[in-house]
Amino acid sequence: MNEDQSKESPLLTVRAADVAGVVVVAVEGEIDVDTADVVLDALRLGISSDGPAVVADLTGVSFFGSTAISTLITAHEFADEHCKGLHVVAPHRAVKRPLQVTGVADVLSLHDSVDEALSALKPVPSE
């Protein structure tokens, strides 16, 4: 994956960047039936890269419905198939609440910030 890639549409902006060897896919706007494929493609591309995991930063997501939930489940399954982790940054209720209500939050690694997600990926030093 290139150092920094982005795709934009009137309803959605998706940017992928390498942060300390981890692909961070930042999504802004609405994830719905018209835009979900763009998000899924970016996550799949990140998962296929060399890093140990992908961070999906959904901090800027304003609409998150059932299609978005399905997109994250599909990305999570794809990550599992590739022995990679998918970490989701969802600090706001618009994204976090649907994930909690559906039980998907119990399957995904949820975080309140990109820094928190990246810290979770660092190995704990042994003594």
Mean pLDDT in consecutive groups of 10 residues from the start of the chain, 127 residues: 58 93 95 95 95 96 96 97 96 95 95 95 64
Select the CATH number that applies to the domain covering 4-120 from these four: 3.20.20.80, 3.30.750.24, 3.30.460.80, 3.30.565.10.
Answer: 3.30.750.24
Residue 2: its pLDDT value, please?
43
User: What does the CA dihedral 14, 18, 20, 24 come to, rounded to 10 degrees?
Assistant: 20
The predicted structure's pLDDT at residue 11: 85
The reported pTM is 0.89
CA gap 52, 82 in Å, rounded: 10
pLDDT at position 20: 87
